């Protein structure tokens, strides 16, 4: 058991890095990166789906007050960034949270975090590639060149969709067609299901199997992997160019949009209260994922101990200011009620008839997604390279290309790991798993700084997190939180403790309806409230966003749906609260440890804020996360534990 927690010494890590480079017969990774480049990589990773997509859902949930959630998340990420910066200064190698955990906690924890980081980088890129495919195909469909007779470039539906979405949508379409609906009605009322049906019906077959592949997603993964394989200098230049384009378009959006703001749209500022703001935690945090990927380039920095901390901090500050500004402009131009869109920026400027700017935004979104893919696709091979150096993965993963000085084999493997799932999986299956893996890494890095705080055998780098004794801060924070809860949220707190049944959100109730039930609901509105329904473009979500959840529940009573369709209650309701209970109990435990050990405040707040955001993720995603970790532990026992260089060193 003791061997599972054997730790690496910083001096040994640095010596091993030099030894690994010399054993390959060359000088190792090329050092080309400065503060400007690292900041650009951070902006490239952070500004992607967050500002072009998820900001709409977060604004819809929290109203204009979503800016406070962006600020809170930025502060939480800032605390974690301090911890990353301190570790990067102590251990300037490419392993990121994996190497940091090896120093602070030991081998088994390092393996677990290295395995979990696959969720952030490799699996997270599956989500980004699928989103990029959607933006890219939409952009092509709006291309108009009259001189060449081009009225949109349309990729066949079977070549822009994953297999399982098409298969499930086809089954739902057949159900609706059997109930008496026509294809025209299906297209008008259920466009997504119609697209899946058409993709499945018109796809080529091979031995009776329908060939349905997301080819644009495959294309961008192959292109980005080739760029990362080619070298860090080429990746840096591409990233810097894409960041300039993104920032230029965002500043254009702000510069134009500010003249169309109607301040009355900011009232009420927090229409759904604190609860509504916090519902966007997962979406907003996903918007910040990526700044930690900068730490995987440590060995390619000219001065990592100085430049990595600065690059991380500048990236978070710049992105937070942009997020807050964009959120205020969006909610100022149109009411938050209409922002639950996949492409909120494009929607808002179409709403005010600036269609040309909407087209520019779509092009920028394609560039933004590609830059996120670049940074993540660059980070994963370097973590595997560090794990391979330690013997936890086969030696080929640490092999550098003799000409390009990149981890060539690991880069190719990552390309396959990302490309294959994009052909078959939908983004909904992997998005929250990406967030949970990232937060888990943040928690361990913050915890690692606390673990090393009083150790004298660790050489200190140029950057050190400012120390403020947590035992004088934590009591005030806990007492303050309890007072706020008691004075402002006493009923909600009692409902939580007593596990009182809770009405689901409007989105949850609507998403739980099957195609026939949605068909009934639309017919009901067409017959009984056609004029109002038509005013919202026959869109159920927009209609009930205006009319309220009580109207939705009343309209659905005739269907005699079970209570579980509308309410969360009983054991299943309690199961969703388990992560929150764990967070509460851990908070009191760490408060005691802070008093006994005089722990530092900044990494402590980073640890607790990231744990809180983890507690907001649904219980079923925790289940899949634990399955993923168990698979990783089997691999560690079968290979890593046996060939670990620390294990071989201990053998007589």
Residue 196, pLDDT above cutoff 80: yes
What radius of gyration, in Å, describes the C-alpha atoms of the chain?
26
Residue 538, pLDDT above cutoff 80: no
Residue 399 carries which DSSP code?
A: P
Between these two residues, 297 and 583, which has the higher pLDDT value? 583
Element (H, E) at 419: helix 408-422
Task: Read off φ and ψ for residue 503, nearest 5 degrees.
Answer: -70, 130
Q: Is the peptide bond before 268 cis (omega within 30 degrees of 0)?
A: yes
Task: Read off φ and ψ for residue 499, nearest 5 degrees.
Answer: 60, 40
User: What percentage of residues in the chain have a pLDDT greater than 90?
Assistant: 5
For the domain covering 2-140+219-467+600-650, report its CATH number. Answer: 1.20.1740.10
634/652 Cα distance (integer angstroms) = 26
59/336 Cα distance (integer angstroms) = 6
Residue 93 carries which DSSP code?
A: S
User: What percentage of residues in the chain have a pLDDT greater than 70?
Assistant: 90
Tell me if residue 206 falls in helix, strand or coil.
Answer: strand
Per-residue pLDDT tens digits for 257-278: 898 898 898 888 888 777 677 7
To 10 degrees, what angle do helices 355-389 and 124-141 make? 150
Residue 148, pLDDT above cutoff 80: no
Tell me if residue 573 falls in helix, strand or coil.
Answer: helix
421/126 Cα distance (integer angstroms) = 7
Per-residue pLDDT tens digits for 18-60: 665 555 444 556 677 788 888 888 888 788 766 766 777 778 8
To 10 degrees, what angle do helices 10-23 and 355-389 make? 90
359/144 Cα distance (integer angstroms) = 11
Q: Residues with Cβ < 8 Å from 504, sequence gap 6 or more?
A: 512, 565, 566, 567, 568
Q: In terms of pTM, does the model score above 0.75?
A: yes
Q: How confident is residue 452, by pLDDT bands cut at 50, 70 and 90?
A: confident
Beta strands 567-568 and 502-503 are antiparallel
What is the number of H-type helices and E-type strands within the chain?
Answer: 32, 6
Per-residue pLDDT tens digits for 74-101: 888 888 888 888 887 777 776 677 888 8
Q: In the chain, where are the structural domains located?
A: 2-140+219-467+600-650, 163-212, 474-579
Residue 600 carries which DSSP code?
A: B
Residue 137, Cα to own-chain centre: how many angstroms? 22
């Amino acid at each position: 058991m003791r061997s599972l927690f054997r730790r690496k010494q910083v001096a040994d890590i640095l010596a091993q890095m030099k030894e690994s480079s010399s054993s390959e017969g060359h000088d190792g990774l090329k050092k080309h990166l400065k503060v400007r480049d690292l900041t650009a990589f951070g902006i490239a990773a952070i500004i992607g789906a967050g500002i072009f997509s998820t900001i709409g859902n977060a604004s819809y949930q929290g109203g204009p007050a979503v800016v406070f959630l962006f600020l809170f998340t930025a502060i939480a990420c800032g605390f974690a960034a301090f911890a990353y910066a301190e570790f990067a200064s102590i251990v300037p190698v490419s392993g990121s949270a994996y190497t940091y955990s090896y120093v602070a906690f030991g081998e088994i924890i390092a393996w677990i975090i290295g395995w979990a980081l696959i969720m952030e980088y490799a699996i997270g890129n599956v989500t980004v590639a699928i989103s990029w495919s959607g933006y890219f195909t939409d952009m092509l469909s709006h291309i108009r060149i009259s001189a060449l007779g081009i009225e949109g470039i349309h990729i066949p539906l079977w070549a822009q969709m994953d297999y399982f979405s098409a298969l499930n949508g086809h089954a739902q379409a057949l159900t609706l067609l059997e109930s008496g609906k026509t294809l025209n009605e299906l297209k008008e009322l259920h466009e997504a299901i119609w697209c899946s049906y058409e993709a499945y019906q018109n796809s080529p077959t091979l031995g009776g199997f329908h060939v349905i592949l997301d080819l644009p997603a495959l294309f961008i993964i192959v292109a980005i992997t080739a760029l990362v394989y080619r070298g860090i200098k080429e990746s840096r230049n591409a990233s810097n160019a894409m960041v300039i384009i993104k920032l230029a378009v965002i500043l254009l959006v702000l510069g134009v949009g500010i003249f169309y703001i109607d301040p009355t749209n900011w009232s009420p500022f927090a229409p759904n209260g604190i609860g509504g703001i916090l519902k966007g935690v997962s979406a907003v945090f996903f918007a910040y994922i990526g700044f930690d990927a900068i730490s995987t380039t440590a060995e390619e920095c000219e001065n990592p101990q100085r430049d990595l901390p600065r690059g991380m901090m500048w990236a978070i500050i710049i992105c937070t200011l942009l997020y807050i500004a964009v959120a205020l402009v969006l909610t100022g131009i149109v009411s938050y009620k209409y922002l639950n869109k996949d492409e909120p920026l494009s929607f808002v400027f179409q709403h005010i008839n600036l269609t040309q700017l909407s087209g520019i935004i779509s092009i920028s979104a394609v560039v933004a997604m590609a830059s996120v893919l670049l940074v993540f696709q660059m980070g994963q091979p370097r973590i595997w390279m560090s794990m391979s150096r330690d013997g936890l993965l086969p030696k080929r993963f640490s092999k550098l290309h003799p000409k390009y000085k990149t981890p060539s084999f690991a880069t190719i493997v990552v390309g396959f790991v990302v490309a294959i799932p994009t052909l078959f999986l939908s983004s909904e299956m992997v998005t929250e798993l990406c967030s949970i893996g990232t937060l888990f890494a943040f928690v361990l890095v913050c915890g690692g700084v606390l673990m090393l705080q009083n150790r004298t055998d660790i050489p200190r780098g140029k950057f050190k997190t400012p120390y403020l004794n947590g035992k004088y801060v934590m009591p005030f924070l806990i007492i303050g939180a309890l007072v706020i809860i008691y004075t402002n949220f006493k009923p909600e707190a009692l409902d939580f403790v007593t596990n009182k049944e809770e009405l689901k959100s409007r989105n949850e109730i609507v998403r739980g309806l099957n195609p026939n039930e949605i068909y009934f609901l639309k017919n009901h509105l067409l017959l009984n409230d056609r004029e109002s329904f038509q005013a919202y473009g026959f869109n159920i979500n927009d209609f009930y966003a205006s009319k309220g959840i009580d109207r939705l529940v009343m309209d659905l009573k005739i269907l005699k749906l079970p209570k579980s369709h509308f309410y969360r209650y009983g054991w299943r309701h309690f199961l969703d609260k388990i992560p929150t209970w764990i967070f509460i109990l851990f908070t009191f435990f760490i408060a005691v440890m802070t008093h006994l050990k005089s722990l530092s405040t900044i990494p402590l707040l980073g640890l607790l804020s990231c744990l809180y955001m983890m507690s907001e993720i649904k219980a079923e995603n925790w289940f899949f996360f634990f399955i993923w970790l168990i698979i990783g532990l089997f691999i560690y026992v079968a290979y890593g534990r046996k060939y670990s260089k620390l294990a071989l060193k201990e053998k007589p």
